[in-house]
Structure 1
Amino acid sequence: MDLIATPLGLALLAASVSFLSLVISKESKISEFRQDWIDTLRQEISELISLLWEIHYKATSDEPELQSYQNLIPAGIRFSQLSAKIRLLLNSKEIDSQRINSAIDSLPGMDAKNVAKILDRDAVMESATELIALTNKVLKSEWKRVKRGEAFYFATKWCLVVSLVVTLALIISTSF
């Protein structure tokens, strides 16, 4: 019995370690992708806000050539591209992501009802501040998820720790 229990216990221990290694590798890659997502969202939001200010300064400039429609088109196109990319990065089913999308919708100059707000420095500042706050909330929760690990990894890690202790206890008890 001792000869069967010990090799079986060691095989179970080896399988557990192998499985844990596989889970750690997979979850590490997921965390890496999530960190890339965090960095991309941060970059795109900051660029969107930068373009918002660029459009505001051009639209309120005393220089007619800066105010011209032709001068505002490239920034407007890039602004639209960024807002679309940000929407694609977000999960539309999550409340905080929906709030970010709503904040983007209400940015000055985003649609006909908000176009005049692009001339109002306070409206631009308020919109930018709100978008930053909402984005920070999402980034903070995602960063916590990266630090903690995915739920499956977290649960698997503790299940394997328990099985390791039980296996070692079985090995020790059969050895004596």
Structure 2
Amino acid sequence: MSEIPVNTLVPVGVVIAALIAGAFSFLSLVLTKEQQISQLRQNWIDALRDDISKYISALVATEEIYWAIEQKHGDSVDVLARSMETKEEHKALAIAYSNIMMRLNPDDKSKHQKDLRNCLVQSKKLASKGKWEESVEMVDNIRDFAQLTLKEEWDRVKVGEPSFVNSKRVGVIGVIISLLVACLVIYNVSVPLEAHLIKN
């Protein structure tokens, strides 16, 4: 009885190994990329939450200082003195507002993001006109839209990016096909060899 020719098995083994390795490499690449994107999105969620908290805090603090000045001095305190009293709050408000606007994508299809953006813009306009009480009255709306936006983004993190979800499916299908092809190749090689061995 003759042995199975090594020359026949080596190319088959190389092809099978290449197919399986390629499929697993692709799947690993997709999963790694998705993990990185998810981490960036999680960082974005945390940063947006922090900036919105700072904006609301600075807005409320500024309104309270202006209210206290008005209660104590009426209109006798000039604009410059009022501005000096609220200098740090105005700075914090401006920084938080700018950070939020930089994080929100104006072209995003999310209704919650659009509502949050519009609410913040309106709040800032009211504050710029000195209508601090009206601006602060929008805090609850800002908070509600922010929570909806953050939840929406968190759901995206849990589900994964659509392109990566599709790529994962393709990767899994590729692995299955590679294994099926490997089994088919092994079967097609082994059956004739077994017949040859039996014949000899």
Cα distance per residue 1:127-151 (max 9 Å; x no partner): 1110111111211111111111222
What residue number does 1:135 align with? 146
Choose between structure 1 and 2 for higher RCO, CA contacts under 8 A separated by at least 6 residues. Answer: 2
Contact 2:58 2:93 in 1 (8 A): yes
Report deviation, 1:170. Answer: 2.1
Runs of 4+ displaced beyond 6 Å: none
Hey, what does 1:102 align to over in structure 2?
Answer: 118
Q: Deviations over 1:45-72 (max 9, x none)?
A: 011001111112112224559x933211
Amino acid at match of 2:106: S
Alignment-derived partner of residue 128 in structure 2: 111
Structure 1: gaps (5+ residues): none
| 1:147 matches 2:158 | yes
Distance 2:152 2:86 in 1: 36
Choose from 100, 103, 106 the match for 1:86.
100
Distance 1:169 1:119, change over 3 A: closer
Distance 2:16 2:185 in 1: 10
Aligned Cα RMSD in Å? 2.3
State the TM-score, normalizing by the size of structure 1.
0.84
- Between the aligned partners of 1:156 and 1:12, the Cα distance in structure 2 is 17
Kept after mapping to 1: 8 A contact 2:54/2:92: no
SS in 2 for 1:132: helix
Identity of paired residues, percent? 26
The corresponding residue for 1:71 is 85
One-letter amino acid of the structure 1 residue matched with residue 113 of structure 2:
S
Which structure: larger Rg?
2
- The count of aligned residue pairs is 169
Q: Give the Cα–Cα distance (whole angstroms) in 2 for the partners of residues 96 and 82 of structure 1.
A: 19
User: Which position in structure 2 is the counterpart of 1:50?
Assistant: 57
Task: Point out where structure 2 has 5 or more consecutive residues left out of the alignment.
Answer: 1-7, 188-200
* CA displacement at 1:171 relative to structure 2: 1.9
The alpha-carbon deviation at position 119 of structure 1 amounts to: 3.5
Q: Normalised by the size of structure 2, how large is the TM-score?
A: 0.75
Given that residues 6 and 174 in structure 1 are in contact (C-alpha distance below 8 angstroms), is that contact kept between their aligned partners in structure 2?
no
